[in-house]
Amino acid sequence: MQPTTVNIADVTIPVSGLTCASCVGHVREALEEQPGVTAANVNLVTREAKVSFNPGDTSVETLVEAIRSRGYGAELPVVRASLAEEQTAQEKAQAEEYNDLRRKAIASGALGAVAMVLSMPLMSGGDHLTHGGGDPILGPLMNLVEPPMRTAMPWLYSIDPTVLKWVLLTLTVAVMGWAGRQFYTRAWTAFRHRTADMNTLIAVGTGAAFVYSLAATIAPDFFVRHGVPAEVYYEAVAMIIALVLTGNALESRARGKTSEALKKMLLLQPAQARVLRNGAEVDVPAGEVQGGEVVLVRPGERVPVDGIVIEGRSAVDESMLTGEPVPVQKEVGDKVIGGTLNRLGSLRYRATAVGAAGMLSQIVKLMREAQASRAPMQKLADRISAVFVPIVISISIATFVTWLLVAPEAGLVRALSAAVAVLIIACPCAVGLAVPTAVTVAIGRGAQAGVLFKGGEALEKLHGVDTILLDKTGTITQGRPSVTRVAAAAGFSEDTVLATAAAVERLSEHPLAEAVVIAAEERALVSSPAGDFDAVPGLGASAIVEGRRVLIGNQRLMESREIAPTAFLATAEEFAATGATPVFVAIDGLLAGVIAISDPIKPTSAAAIKKLRIKGLRVVMLTGDRKTTALAVARMVGIDEVVAGVLPEGKVAEVKRLQQEGRRVAMVGDGVNDAPALAQADAGLSMASGSDIASEASDVTLMRSDLEAAVSAIDLSNRALRVMKQNLAWAFLYNVIGIPVAAGALYAAFDLLLTPVLASVAMALSSFSVVSNSLRLRR
């Protein structure tokens, strides 16, 4: 006897309920009793059973059941495929599917064409009602082709019709059994589950035509005796299968393209990373880089994981993640993002976020979730899809019965042709694909431009807005304020004012605070640490510095503490008129000075705001700053509606107020401070800050803090909605018009009938055109 080699598989099964050593024995016994198990080890500590077995004799499921039958808990081990692996598997399946469909479509098309030619002699002479008569395209075509064919191939016309019928039967069975087989098997499994889909329609349609033809081939006398022409429709069956397969192949390829953006995102992740380990540079798989490790990137290489630069200087192309066209300068202390392209210099950086925490992984996760979401517009399509096929079958039956009852002559033939045409022309796929393909493509396109939509609903929400609220700091301006001027009261020096203010601001998290601290450091001013710090939201802060109570904040803070800012009001106004924010400093109840902090406007803001206004949006600037500052900034960027001096709660109220006016409001702000207003708005757009890109409150995350990204988001949402509506309209109208015409609604008035073959052309094109229309969003 030849020794046979068997593949032994190993599996680790999580087991629960193991309380003692004897339990371990029980579980091991249960496993070893199973046929095909070669070794079983149960670990009480890790609560796992490691089993080696022959997959030919048993399965993991059986092993799990065996453990459970002894009263212990066991679970199927989960093999977690990475996103990239899953994507690759899906692509592979789609490519196989496309190749298979294409091969079958070409072969069955060739056979169908042969069948068409062979059936010509059968149609001539007789009343070829269903082969072309009444059909607006095939009818005249037939009349055109037939006479020259008769001259070119006289031998064809001398073949005995019975022989021709049997040849056609063989050809058709071959097409149905090989290329068309999938329609019948899938229709049957669906039927068993009490569902029906496109396959059901094709299977029933071609099946009915085939059965009729078969009967006419076997027992033609029976038909003639009952006054029905013994016609066969084999060529129609073969052509329908060929055409529907062609449509499916086109659709399959187009559908594969809808998720191209996601594929590209996944490809951004480099496989390898060069890290410093024990003083040596080593190449490791990017997935194995640990947080805190030092990573090296050379010019032209992709940044493997997120991190902060510790050495070197370079320009990094981040366009693939943020849509920012110009490479970003990186130096020590700057953040780099995994997946971006290092251009010129070499960088050393410390890895911060690795694996799933990395920015790229988060973007991909967000994209997948977004593409999984259902747009509200989908609901109608869903409701129709759910009932579509059974209703079409009902219409087809009604068509058949009606023709039988009312047709003056050859009722059965017409009835069959029309009923089959109804089944074939109906296209549930176009309805089902209309919205999801548009959502998938739009979300992919958005991600490539640095605009992450939360889902289909976010696309829809943004489309309807007529008013857009822009937060000033960090949205219109750079959000990196700096001290531009300092004015001191009599008895105080500018340096004292700045140093004292910096001592307090060092403890504050307010965006303006940093500017004061930096300015003090630049002037090399030293002050002792502050204590007893107290932040007053929306107003400022107070603390004790060198035993003195220091108050720093806006005019309102001063007034609330009964410190009259009168002496500095004119200076403050002067600062504000240039777009700077005046910050008052009081020491021990006396006004010490005013600091002008100005936040430069982003270079793209004015142009973006102009674009928003051209779109007909009402643009409103929202800020906690004083009115003069706000108006100055507004004037510079071309906004004439400003709501100034609002506290964080005030922003929510402002959104509500506009909503009560009947406006549909979009809000652009940062995801942290503006979260409540973003959530209240009809559509919230947050500028990505830090590494957390999935702000709970917002519908859209803008990967670059640039108002142009908001313009792109609105553009994309408008285009996506237009495509969705076109798709839905097309899919509905196509069916609403196509089905009655196929049933013969226009026959009485215009003598117009569609043959099933023409119906199949229309059907094949209809779902393909829906997907193609969605693909336009890629640009």
Name the site residues for another protein (rule: CB under 8 A).
Answer: 14, 16-17, 72-76, 78, 86-87, 89-90, 93-94, 97, 182, 186-199, 252, 255, 368-369, 371-374, 378, 381-382, 385-387, 389-390, 393-394, 397-398, 400-401, 404-405, 428-429, 432-433, 436, 455
Within 10 A of 202 (CB to CB), how many other CB atoms are there? 26
- Helix ranges, 478-568 (H): 494-505, 511-522, 555-560
CB of 394 to another protein, least distance (A): 5
CB of 393 to another protein, least distance (A): 5
Rounded Cα distance between 515 and 481, Å, is 6
Q: Residue 459 in contact with residue 720, Cβ under 8 Å?
A: yes
Q: Where are the beta strands (DSSP E) in 512-589?
A: 531-536, 540-545, 548-553, 580-587
Look at the chain and count its residues. Answer: 779
CB of 185 to another protein, least distance (A): 8
Q: Which is nearer to another protein, 310 or 372 (CB)?
A: 372
The answer to whether residue 221 is catalytic is no
CB of 569 to another protein, least distance (A): 53
**Residue whose structure tokens are 């936040």:** 599
Q: Which is nearer to another protein, 437 or 760 (CB)?
A: 437
- What does the block give as tokens for 443? 């979300």
Rounded Cα distance between 748 and 746, Å, is 6
SS3 content of the chain, % helix, strand, coil (to 5): 55, 20, 30
Pairing mode of beta strands 683-687, 665-670: parallel
Q: Which is nearer to another protein, 242 or 443 (CB)?
A: 443
CB of 622 to another protein, least distance (A): 31
H or E stretch including 347? strand 347-351
Q: Which is nearer to another protein, 183 or 349 (CB)?
A: 183
Residue 704 CA, distance from chain mean position = 19
CB of 243 to another protein, least distance (A): 18
Q: Which is nearer to another protein, 383 or 548 (CB)?
A: 383
Residue 61 CA, distance from chain mean position = 35
Q: Residue 686 in contact with residue 697, Cβ under 8 Å?
A: yes
Q: Which is nearer to another protein, 387 or 590 (CB)?
A: 387
Q: Which is nearer to another protein, 191 or 223 (CB)?
A: 191
Q: Which residues contact 244 (CB under 8 A, 6 or more apart)?
A: 183, 202, 424, 760, 763, 764
CA-CA distances (angstroms) from residue 320 to 325, 334, 360, 446?
Answer: 9, 18, 10, 11
The three-state secondary structure class of 456 is helix
Q: Check 135, 471, 674, 699 and give the catalytic one.
A: 471
Q: Which is nearer to another protein, 193 or 779 (CB)?
A: 193
Could you tell me which of 277, 202, 668, 618 has the C-alpha nearest to residue 471?
A: 668
Rounded Cα distance between 609 and 604, Å, is 9
Strand partners, 9: 53
Q: Which is nearer to another protein, 218 or 397 (CB)?
A: 397
CB of 621 to another protein, least distance (A): 34
Strand partners, 311: 348
Q: Residue 529 in contact with residue 543, Cβ under 8 Å?
A: no
Q: Residue 525 in contact with residue 538, Cβ under 8 Å?
A: no
Q: Residue 34 in contact with residue 66, Cβ under 8 Å?
A: yes
Rounded Cα distance between 226 and 126, Å, is 17
Cα angle 422, 402, 176 (rounded to 5 degrees) comes to: 35
Q: Which is nearer to another protein, 460 or 654 (CB)?
A: 460
Q: Residue 501 in contact with residue 550, Cβ under 8 Å?
A: yes
Rounded Cα distance between 328 and 325, Å, is 9
Rounded Cα distance between 229 and 467, Å, is 68
Q: Residue 89 in contact with residue 250, Cβ under 8 Å?
A: no
CB of 405 to another protein, least distance (A): 6
Q: Which residues carry out catalysis?
A: 471
